[in-house]
Amino acid sequence: MGYYVTVEPGVQLYVEDINPAGSKTIVFLHGWPLNHDQFEYQFNVLPGMGYRCIGIDWRGFGKSDRPYGGYHLERLADDIRAVVDALQLKDFVLAGHSTGGAIAIKYVVRYNGGGVSKLVLIDAAAPRGFTKETAAQLLKQSLNDRANMMLGVTDIFFFRYISKPFADWFIQMGMQAAGWSTAAIIVMLRDFDLTADLSHIQVPTLIVHGIHDQVIPFSQAEEMQRLIPHSQLVPFMYSGHGSFYDERDKFNEVIQEFVGNARQAPLRVPQ
């Protein structure tokens, strides 16, 4: 089911809540400049194993409202907190991809865990995001030809072959975002540094990262593993920045192993 949650006056986030009867909850935070649909190949599988899967579109992206401001890690983490409070989530797994991983880190540290029992960082943009050079190039492209920028992002995102229809779908996912929010997140990715936050993460943490990642280098995953207590790093040998798709079967198995088996929700027989 899909619904909206108010995170501040005039701003609602879209939430996709799949298998609410699942015995274990995984909250997914998408990457820039995408939305919750990027996890289609997790949502196809994990709910059938008994998990409740929740996808949240950040402000400015996907189906969520698109205010002009609020595109910094603290506000984005506060948005997630508002959703967690509204849904009364406790003892859940928080999984963030790329920039979503940075938001997940900020959320866990800012809220002293915030109900998170385990953390999954997927090709995460941490401790840092884009270099100043990369950010300048992407910002210029975003403000002048955003569609062409999305084409370039798609070209370097995956390690394995993707079909043209898949690439078209992926590009359109990015184009659903507002132009101003797309640009604002580039600036955020240029400016933040989460190094000091990493040692404050006190929940078991799984780091999944493609060794061929051309967006966030694998060396940053190794740095995170050194700095985050109780963390483990699983390299994906045949993945780029999109390990959730490049090696989707392995990815889903690793997630299931880390989260733990869920009880299959009983079938409801129509009366």
List the 92-97 sheet strands across, edge first.
2-8, 11-18, 51-56, 24-29, 92-97, 116-122, 205-210, 231-236
Nearest to 58 by CA among 72, 84, 79: 79
The rounded distance, in Å, linking the Cα atoms of 224 and 101 is: 11
Instruction: Note whether 244 and 38 are within 8 A (CB).
Output: yes
Catalytic annotation, residues: 98, 213, 241
CB count within 10 Å of CB 33 equals 29
For residues 220 and 95, give the distance between their C-alpha atoms in angstroms, rounded to a whole number.
17
**Full DSSP string of 112-159:** TTTTEEEEEEES---SB---HHHHHHHHHHHHH-HHHHHHHHHHHH-S
The 3-state secondary structure of 46-107, one letter per residue: HHHHCEEEEEECCCCCCCCCCCCCCCCHHHHHHHHHHHHHHHCCCCEEEEEECHHHHHHHHH
Residue 266: strand, helix, or coil: coil
Give the Cβ contact number of residue 47 at 10 Å: 19
